[in-house]
Structure 1
Amino acid sequence: MRNTLLLLLALTLFACTPTQQVTQTTTVTTTTSTVPQQAVTEEVMTTPAENPKAFYNKTEHYITMRDGVKLYVAVYTPKDASPENPYPIMLQRTCYSAQPYGADQYPEDFSRLQELANEKYIFVFQDVRGRWMSEGAFDNMRPYVPNKKATSQIDESSDTYDSIDWLVKNLPNNTGKVGVWGISYPGFYSTCSLIDAHPALKAVSPQAPIGDFYFDDFHHNGAYTLAYWSVNNLFGIQKTAPTSEAWYQFPNMGPDPYDFYLRHTPLSKLDAVTDQDNFFWKEIMANPDYNEFWQKRNIVQHLKNIRPAVMTVGGWFDAEDLYGPLMTYGNIEKWNDKAYNTIVMGPWSHGDWSRRKGRQAVSNVFFGENINEDYQADVEARFFHHWLKGPADGETGLAEAHMFDCGTKVWRDFANWPPEDAIEQNLFLSEKGRILEEGEKTESASTSFISDPAHPVPFNTDIKPLFIPRKYMADDQRHVARRPDVLTFTTEPLTEDLTLAGPINAQLFVSTTGTDADWIVKVIDVYPDNHPDYEETQDNLTMGGYQQLVRGEAFRGRYRNGFEKGVPFAPNEITEVSWKLQDVMHTFKKGHRLMIQVHSSWFPYVDMNPQTFVPNIFEATEEDFQAQEHSLYHAGEYPSNIKVSVLTR
């Protein structure tokens, strides 16, 4: 169980095997596990993070929500807490289990809490409604209910409020100040805590927070994230009673996920191999458009009147949740003039910053030593110390935007994000695979290719069981650059550094012989031929000529007029398709080249478009999947281009 959860999302900040089940009760459990004085003496050379059992007492409780549902919490209180030495509370709410269960059961260590655990807080881990040892029913991205008028109206914000209210009133030796943090789904719950926040809540760090399941995790601009189908059972099967054991199973796709998903196209074939009790899969299939079902689950639209201090954290190579951190920070900044609001974006995949591993790399690319450890000590610990133990005056010494440049591999600080002095620049896609700047002319009208659903463009070269795809975010793109259904555009070697800082937007003018099409645009850093290998470089690759994905994003063309309703293409009619690829902070160094790739499938990261318009792609038949010719236009009134934000200093 432990390895499964860690492999799944690496989201639980400590991970141990669940043991005995807590007996469900309506009364507070006050059993405390203590360590004999002799044991503490023997462990004097260890730290709280290394040996939490020696430094923390554990208790377990059920907290009753306003509608009567009881939620489980595990509480770890420093042994030296007293009325004269109280501690703030650090709360994490999770759907991934507050294990290990049992008042005498401790995690092996608090390594993922390293700096915070050593400084010592009262740590509280809660199973959210409908998960593990808590009562109630689970709902994915449970919609926020504004202006609640009855105790039956609940959401994750009210559950957080009720939990904090109980904790500050009932946990001995707390200071009455609370911090909340969490990664991914716990990041979403952290965001929810900001809305209608309890007065005791002083500091919140949503980390890789899900902002909207239609743009994070399970969809990308209308395209279904097919590679995440394998985790649907985790999110879509209700348990029948509080439990310390997993009640769901993951499917066996065999050794080659590309082959598995190709054999299960159309998407309706997956229905036969999906657990029939999976309510989330049914919801996904029934709601292909950005309709009310998804819209009301958009948490970032509610980030107004924010009172606690906020530090949003994300990774530039986060395959699951890149949209969420940027939108969380951006909307708080837009709607809350007086809020303390900061953002940290590092050279990380999903949740990397919580790990302690010395060398930080994503895919084959090495970014530096002790990046995670330095963040934990100098940024995260400082943020919470200031607001929960320090002066709480906003003078944290932290930058508004602490951003890692993934090209120069150094941190840069900005007064805002995106940087105000970044200059927009258009990169025009031209004939013969060239990239032109504004003012240069292109002669060829268009470039065409055949997109065949039977032979989709792979998103990576690895042939192995696929769980959650992550490393592809910095993978080598040479495996597709040579394909005839991938258009490649490249600059000459740069004569000086080129730093992109901020959003990237694609504006394509296209046509298709079919009635629907997807479009994928990738911005790539092409290394010089003499670039040395790293320790992390795969044996079958060399970093000389490496084509590193810097940013890539899919767009389902039917949603070019809005995500609420898909509309077909008129065959052979030139049409504009525009979308945002998300932000970057990346310097293309002198001697490198900038490459842009354009194609129409990215399999099986996103599902294959049949290229014949059907109202619901989840109901498409095999006959709907047809090879079509797509054209990209360059010249005159149809100048396909990529708009970037360039820093000149």
Structure 2
Amino acid sequence: MRYFKAFSFSILFLLNISILVAQDNYVEQNYTKTEVDIPMRDGINLHTTIYSPKDTSQDFPILMQRTPYSSRPYGKGEFKKRIGPNEHLMKEGYIVVYQDVRGRWMSEGVYDNMRAYIPNKKGKQIDEASDTYDTIEWLVNNVENNNGKVGVWGISYPGFYSTYSLLSNHPALTAVSPQAPIGDFYFDDFHHNGAYLLSYWLATTVFGYMKDEPTDKAWYADKFPNIGTQDQYQFFLENMPLSKLDKFYGEDNVFWQQLKEHPNYDEFWQSRGIIQHLDEIDIQPAVMTVGGLFDAEDLYGPLHTYSEIEKHNDFYNIFVFGPWSHGQWASTRKRQAVGNVYFGDDISNNYQKDIETPFFNYFLKDKGNVDELSEAQIFDTGKKEWNAYQVWPPQNTTEKTFFLGENQSLTSTANPKFKNTFVSDPKKPVPYSEDIKVVFTPRKYMTDDQRFAARRPDVLVYETAVLEEDMKFVGDIIANLNVSTTETATDWVVKVIDVFPADAKDTEEVQDHLKMSNYHMMVRSEVMRGRFRNSFEKPEPFQPNKKTQVNIELQDINHTFKKGHKLQIQIQSSWFPLIDMNPQTYVDNIFKAKTEDFQKQTHTVFGDSKLVFYEVK
């Protein structure tokens, strides 16, 4: 019997191995790979990899991703393990195309970070829309067994190129899914409301260095700074002001130079924003924009991409907003969590199977239907369930206003005579998390426990009593702060927090030093660089000790603060090193501030400050 069990185990083990190997080899077994250089109208060739189904008995639609991150693996006989947006679509049968965008990896030409769109192009003028058009035109005319329909998808930067594809206005473009698309580098990724996201500094390496010729190697790999520590907070504290970082990046880092020379929302940044052009779409593709409610990189992009398309166009346009960090919906992990907070099982898997796959199948294959896909499918991050809305944000809302009151309270009436003060010291800025390591881009902080911040003297805290019934808020949140400062410059950070009850249960995602009992979950947060309170184009100083209004729009939420919980607001003036430290004295360009410009200041928040939420019953 012992030998029989051992034999049975061996057979089972080998069977599992063979299944895994078959899964790993699925693309190679079922697709033919071709690499081509597609000529653009100006003579530049873009390297393109085409995976075509080996089944030639029928025609298939084309599903394309354009990327600055490489269409690897390169070379004959080298296959991706998975192609397309998800495994279901891979097995449905699509001609899947990956293209290195102009100036990246194996493509020719010069790379331009978020290349500006050119309306009414003439002759050989190019932008990403023309490159998309020329690529689609070549594909539908040269790839065998295609059905003449093209879809485009991508996450993050490829999401930006997906949005851009809409402006190609190619008649074969039938379905587009911008996912976590960059919309504007001044409000996503590298800035938030004019404040530089210092914690994304390492990402400057990837986008800052130009290559001389097509290459299958990461030409920037040896350019990453060796900062000699895993303590990101201490590193940036010791390398403040920002001008000290010049020793890590030379003049050849184009993007770092651009960041330094364009601190304001000038023509350089404005011209690169793609959302402003979404009223210029002349075709009728179906669009599905996807975003994560806890996407630390691209939250502005998907929200504004969906809303601008909705505002200016009448074609099929839906929005999916789930409990995800950046691109997490493409994962196949069973348990869905962001940081310490667990939201449920198979949320991403079900999205891929029940939303993403039917969308592309219907519009590119005329297969199935999309009747069950609501206009807006938004996850409630408090109740941990999906909601279906006819439009986002929903219209049947009422305003719910909270004023900042005495004894750390949130009240329904303003008290302009009441005020709180705190001292903000550039040498001891408020950390954005308890767990600050050196990372490429931080993500988990979006749901972090905020108790550590509430205990600091430079963080103001206001909260409701324990809720006697659920409160559900949707859409954006407006913070109207009335403030003053003893000098001429500061930042303002507002955090919206769900305080859990004492009997909240732990899950396996919770870090060892934490408990969900009384957990302070950050639901939404935002910063406003004070100099831009009236205009992002024309910064201005504060007048010392003068009461001034600063308005901050916090990005959309769909969250139920449950009975037994509390709603808390935290206000502070540093958030380090998520954003760079404001000197707190006004200088023309913070990237060029001097050490002596950084001064300790006292800030005041008045009791007629308020936060406006939109409530649904």
Match for 1:145 among 118, 121, 144? 118
Give the aligned length: 596
Match for 1:615 among 588, 591, 595? 588
Closer, same or farther: CA 206–368 of 1 in aligned 2, 3 Å: same
CA contact (8 A) 1:49 1:111 kept: no
What residue is the counterpart of 1:640 in the other structure? 609
Distance in 2 (CA, whole Å) between partners of 1:513 and 1:48 is 64
Distance in 1 (CA, whole Å) between partners of 2:419 and 2:140 is 65
- Over the matched positions of the two proteins, sequence identity in percent amounts to 55
Match for 2:302 among 304, 313, 325? 325
2:234 aligned with 1:270: no
Q: Counterpart of 1:190 in 2: which secondary structure? A: helix
What residue is the counterpart of 2:31 in the other structure? 56
In the TM superposition, what whole-angstrom CA distance separates every residue of 1:13-46 from its partner, at most 9, and x where no partner exists? xxxxxxxxxxxxxxxxxxxxxxxxxxxxx98998
In the TM superposition, what whole-angstrom CA distance separates every residue of 1:60-105 from its partner, at most 9, and x where no partner exists? 00000001110001110111034xx010000000000000001210
What residue is the counterpart of 2:345 in the other structure? 369
The answer for unaligned runs of 5 or more in structure 2 is 1-16
AA partner of residue 216 (structure 2)? S
Q: Counterpart of 2:212 in 1: which secondary structure? A: coil
Distance in 2 (CA, whole Å) between partners of 1:612 and 1:357 is 47
Matches within 5 A, 1:197-596: 197-249=169-221, 250-253=224-227, 254-306=229-281, 307-336=284-313, 338-390=314-366, 395-437=370-412, 440=413, 442=415, 444-596=417-569
Q: In the TM superposition, what is the alpha-carbon distance from 1:111 to its structure 2 partner?
A: 8.7
Distance in 1 (CA, whole Å) between partners of 2:461 and 2:489 is 22
CA contact (8 A) 2:358 2:370 kept: no
Q: Counterpart of 2:540 in 1: which secondary structure? A: coil
In the TM superposition, what whole-angstrom CA distance separates every residue of 1:265-319 from its partner, at most 9, and x where no partner exists? 1000011111431101100100000000000011000002432110000000000
Q: In the TM superposition, what is the alpha-carbon distance from 1:464 to its structure 2 partner?
A: 2.6
Q: In the TM superposition, what is the alpha-carbon distance from 1:113 to its structure 2 partner?
A: 2.3
Matches within 5 A, 1:187-206: 187-206=159-178
Aligned-residue Cα RMSD (Å) equals 1.6
Q: In the TM superposition, what is the alpha-carbon distance from 1:546 to its structure 2 partner?
A: 0.4
Q: In the TM superposition, what is the alpha-carbon distance from 1:522 to its structure 2 partner?
A: 0.3
Distance in 1 (CA, whole Å) between partners of 2:411 and 2:382 is 22
AA partner of residue 520 (structure 2)? Q
Closer, same or farther: CA 413–46 of 1 in aligned 2, 3 Å: farther
Closer, same or farther: CA 545–43 of 1 in aligned 2, 3 Å: closer
Distance in 2 (CA, whole Å) between partners of 1:579 and 1:490 is 19
CA contact (8 A) 1:510 1:576 kept: yes
Q: In the TM superposition, what is the alpha-carbon distance from 1:255 to its structure 2 partner?
A: 1.1
Distance in 1 (CA, whole Å) between partners of 2:519 and 2:492 is 23
AA partner of residue 40 (structure 2)? M
Q: Counterpart of 1:432 in 2: which secondary structure? A: coil
AA partner of residue 218 (structure 1)? F
Q: In the TM superposition, what is the alpha-carbon distance from 1:374 to its structure 2 partner?
A: 0.2
Closer, same or farther: CA 396–158 of 1 in aligned 2, 3 Å: farther
Q: Counterpart of 1:596 in 2: which secondary structure? A: strand
AA partner of residue 269 (structure 2)? W
CA contact (8 A) 2:361 2:367 kept: no
Distance in 1 (CA, whole Å) between partners of 2:188 and 2:489 is 23
Q: In the TM superposition, what is the alpha-carbon distance from 1:214 to its structure 2 partner?
A: 0.1
Closer, same or farther: CA 141–108 of 1 in aligned 2, 3 Å: same
Distance in 1 (CA, whole Å) between partners of 2:595 and 2:496 is 33
Closer, same or farther: CA 112–66 of 1 in aligned 2, 3 Å: closer
Closer, same or farther: CA 356–111 of 1 in aligned 2, 3 Å: farther
Q: Counterpart of 1:101 in 2: which secondary structure? A: coil
Closer, same or farther: CA 66–436 of 1 in aligned 2, 3 Å: same
Q: Counterpart of 2:457 in 1: which secondary structure? A: coil
Distance in 2 (CA, whole Å) between partners of 1:172 and 1:514 is 68
Q: Counterpart of 2:563 in 1: which secondary structure? A: coil
Q: Counterpart of 1:582 in 2: which secondary structure? A: strand
Q: In the TM superposition, what is the alpha-carbon distance from 1:110 to its structure 2 partner?
A: 4.1
What residue is the counterpart of 2:5 in the other structure? none
AA partner of residue 642 (structure 1)? L
Distance in 2 (CA, whole Å) between partners of 1:614 and 1:474 is 33
Distance in 2 (CA, whole Å) between partners of 1:396 and 1:323 is 28
Closer, same or farther: CA 474–282 of 1 in aligned 2, 3 Å: same
What residue is the counterpart of 2:9 in the other structure? none
CA contact (8 A) 2:292 2:299 kept: yes
CA contact (8 A) 1:504 1:580 kept: yes
Distance in 1 (CA, whole Å) between partners of 2:67 and 2:80 is 16
In the TM superposition, what whole-angstrom CA distance separates every residue of 1:543-575 from its partner, at most 9, and x where no partner exists? 000000000001100011110011000000000
What residue is the counterpart of 2:154 in the other structure? 182
Q: In the TM superposition, what is the alpha-carbon distance from 1:264 to its structure 2 partner?
A: 1.0
TM-score by length of 2: 0.95
Distance in 2 (CA, whole Å) between partners of 1:521 and 1:221 is 13
AA partner of residue 235 (structure 2)? F
Distance in 2 (CA, whole Å) between partners of 1:544 and 1:44 is 43
Distance in 1 (CA, whole Å) between partners of 2:370 and 2:516 is 43
2:145 aligned with 1:173: yes
AA partner of residue 226 (structure 2)? N
Q: In the TM superposition, what is the alpha-carbon distance from 1:495 to its structure 2 partner?
A: 0.5
Distance in 2 (CA, whole Å) between partners of 1:429 and 1:168 is 60
Distance in 1 (CA, whole Å) between partners of 2:432 and 2:177 is 32
Distance in 1 (CA, whole Å) between partners of 2:90 and 2:537 is 45
